[in-house]
Structure 1
Amino acid sequence: MFTAIFGSVELGIIYAIMALGVYLTFRILDFPDLTVDGSFVTGAATAAAMITLGYNPLLATAVAILVGFIAGCCTGLLHTKGKINALLSGILMMIALYSINLRIMGTTTEAATRPNIPLLNTDSIFSMFGAFWTTLPIDESFKNMLSGFISGAVPATVGTLVLVIIITFAIKFIADWFLKTELGLAIRATGDNKRMIRSFSANTDNYIILGLGLSNALVAFSGALVAQYTKAADVSMGVGMIVIGLASVIIGEAIFGTKTIVRTTLAVVFGAIIYRIVLAIALRIEWLDAGDLKLITAIIVILALILPQFMSKLKEKKRKAKRKQQFEASMKEG
């Protein structure tokens, strides 16, 4: 059980990057972007294809982020310049990316398209950082003890865990800073009230395109990391990714609140981790198997949506009962 939970925490931290991307569109821009299901695979496919062809994993990941950014901008252009409905723009781009992803993975073979790329005997960001971990000037006995504990208890190296924590929280802090800049505030205002921003002669179309580009860049980054972590990229790995991202955002907001940007982004990160832990525990129930993954996801999202409302109504009911008691007591005293 401990091994499964630790693995879920590690994977949850990686998926938190994708959840932050979903948060940018659904909460900040108020844009229902379904491009996520395609751009996640695009990031994974781009990174996997370049690594297989012999490129440095860092370069492959950087290109994956760029490709994701371009995909998001295309969705924004369809909506703003093509005047296509926001939901339909994301669906159209998601469909287009399915074929594009097959083409990207096909660059590693003689065939034009390919549905998956294994990365079993290749370097990755994690293996590079794992090698770097061994060169750190830390007491050797402590390092061996820690590495021995991790290797004996969980399916990951110390370097992998440290790296994903550094990357995810670095992105979280950068997002916090960016959303407080003049440009970030303009994007937030565009999501809140487009008409008001246009009244100040601001080009909201550019803000929407940029916001969607940044969102899908994060999603593609997460996809590239997941591909290197799981040692495989598959064309179907992005199915339902938007639901997972929304589940992470909703769970985090329900538990930790949304009073400030800093608190909300932190809630999204922990929401992704909690989601993976709940999923891992649920899949260990005897009468559930991997085929029930989407059903479990749907149930988690439904509960995350309903429970806060139920708790809010319950608290309001208690407040009303308390006020009634106070009123009756004051009437008796009077």
Structure 2
Amino acid sequence: MFAALFGSVEQGIIYAIMALGVYLTFRVLDFPDLTVDGSFVTGAATAATMIALGYNPILATLLAIVAGFIAGCMTGLLHTKGKINPLLSGILMMIALYSINLRIMGLSAENAIVRPNIPLMNSETIFSQFNAFWSTLGIDDVMTNFVKNTLGFQSAPSTWGIALVVLIITLIIKLIADWFLKTEVGLAIRATGDNKRMIRSFSANTDSLIVLGLGLSNALVAFSGALIAQYSKFADVNMGIGMIVIGLASVIIGEAIFGTKTIFRTTIAVVAGAIIYRIIYAVALRIEWLDTSDMKLITAVIVILALVIPQMIEKRREKKRKEKRRAERLSQQNVAQGGNHLA
């Protein structure tokens, strides 16, 4: 059980990078970008193809980020220059990326025009490199013995190095996002999402800001896809289906639990939301009458609960606030009436 939950936390940390990308579009830019389902696979396909061809995993991951950035910029150009509806521009790019991703993966095999998946079982990845280094320090054995002997779990994970690497990477991305959103360009992007007409009155080029925001968002999504491909040891053309829903669920769950008072707090909430989502998902799959084929149903239920429960809680709080104000008014009236009687 502990090993399964630990694996869910690892995946949640990686998916948190994708959730941060979704946060940039949906919350900061107020842009319903469905490119995510395609750009996630673009990152995975690019990284897996480069690794399969013998390139360095770090270089492959960097190229995956660039590919995701280009995909996001194309969506932005379809909307800003092509004057296509934001939702439709994302859908069109998502559809186009399906064929593009097949072509990218086809490059990894001789005479293959298209290829639906790439196995990486015997290939070196970022995680295998760092895990090997971590194992040489002997900390893996120490942590495994601690979990088994001290905590009393029968099974213990052996990927402590991977968990540390993904945690460091995600925290760095989170801190960079915090810094960027407080820069002049970041503030302009936030202002574009809040009130496009107002920011235009200050002679800001909102089209360029939208394109840049979408590019950065999908670069993060592709980065997450590249890491997931290396973590799972395969890339598949269908691995991005429903990714936008997972990203939204992470954002909504995190915001509902931790709040959104500051940028720092909000990005922490998004990261935590992604981890909580994966834990809920792993626990749900351990229920006897649920199967892996119910994955989409579980995702939908989690999102529905994440949307409905905060509203119910807020309505309950508002009701209590109204009752408190009413009691205070009655108390003030009673005090005033008592004063009048004394007079």
TM-score bracket for the superposition, by shorter chain length: over 0.9
Q: Counterparts of 1:199-278 in structure 2 under 5 Å?
A: 199-278=201-280
Tell me, what secondary structure is at the counterpart of 2:182? coil
Structure 1 vs Structure 2 CA RMSD:
1.5
Structure 2 counterpart of 1:108:
108
Structure 2 counterpart of 1:160:
162
Structure 2 counterpart of 1:19:
19
Tell me, what secondary structure is at the counterpart of 1:117? strand
Q: 1:52 to 1:235 in 2, by over 3 A?
A: same
Contact 1:190/1:207 (<8 A) preserved: yes
Q: Give the superposition deviation at 1:51.
A: 0.4
Contact 1:150/1:156 (<8 A) preserved: no
Q: 1:143 to 1:193 in 2, by over 3 A?
A: same
Distance 1:133 1:147 in 2: 13
Structure 2 counterpart of 1:133:
134
Contact 2:134/2:140 (<8 A) preserved: no
Contact 2:68/2:219 (<8 A) preserved: yes
Q: Give the superposition deviation at 1:135.
A: 4.8
Is the aligned partner of 1:66 residue 2:66? yes
Q: Give the superposition deviation at 1:332.
A: 4.2
Q: Counterparts of 1:1-334 in structure 2 under 5 Å?
A: 1-109=1-109, 110-135=111-136, 144-149=141-146, 153-333=155-335, 334=338
Amino acid of the structure 2 residue aligned with 1:144: D
Tell me, what secondary structure is at the counterpart of 1:153? coil
C-alpha deviations, 1:100-127, integer Å up to 9, x for none? 0001111112221010001100100001
Amino acid of the structure 2 residue aligned with 1:105: M
Contact 1:43/1:223 (<8 A) preserved: yes
In structure 1, stretches of 5+ residues that fail to align are: none
Q: Give the superposition deviation at 1:200.
A: 1.1
Contact 1:22/1:245 (<8 A) preserved: yes
Q: Give the superposition deviation at 1:231.
A: 0.5
In structure 2, stretches of 5+ residues that fail to align are: 149-153, 339-343
Distance 2:140 2:79 in 1: 52
Q: Give the superposition deviation at 1:320.
A: 1.9
Quote the sequence identity (%): 74
Q: 1:17 to 1:283 in 2, by over 3 A?
A: same
Amino acid of the structure 2 residue aligned with 1:159: G
C-alpha deviations, 1:170-215, integer Å up to 9, x for none? 0000000000001110111111111111111111100000000000
C-alpha deviations, 1:140-197, integer Å up to 9, x for none? 5x66322555797344411101100000000000000000001110111111111111
Tell me, what secondary structure is at the counterpart of 2:226? helix
Distance 2:65 2:285 in 1: 32
Tell me, what secondary structure is at the counterpart of 1:233? strand
Contact 1:150/1:157 (<8 A) preserved: no
Distance 2:141 2:290 in 1: 38
Q: Give the superposition deviation at 1:327.
A: 3.4
Contact 1:253/1:271 (<8 A) preserved: yes
Contact 2:140/2:160 (<8 A) preserved: no
Contact 1:7/1:154 (<8 A) preserved: no
Contact 1:17/1:219 (<8 A) preserved: yes
Contact 1:147/1:157 (<8 A) preserved: no
Contact 1:68/1:213 (<8 A) preserved: yes
Q: Give the superposition deviation at 1:229.
A: 0.3
Aligned length: 330
Distance 2:155 2:262 in 1: 37
Contact 2:254/2:273 (<8 A) preserved: yes
- Structure label with greater radius of gyration: 2
Distance 1:167 1:106 in 2: 29
Distance 1:154 1:275 in 2: 22
C-alpha deviations, 1:229-260, integer Å up to 9, x for none? 01010000000000000000000000000000
Tell me, what secondary structure is at the counterpart of 2:326? helix
Distance 1:328 1:155 in 2: 61
Distance 2:248 2:132 in 1: 35
C-alpha deviations, 1:257-289, integer Å up to 9, x for none? 000000000000000000000011111111111
Distance 1:330 1:65 in 2: 62
C-alpha deviations, 1:5-50, integer Å up to 9, x for none? 1111010000000000000000000000000000000000000011
Distance 1:150 1:170 in 2: 28
Q: Give the superposition deviation at 1:326.
A: 3.3
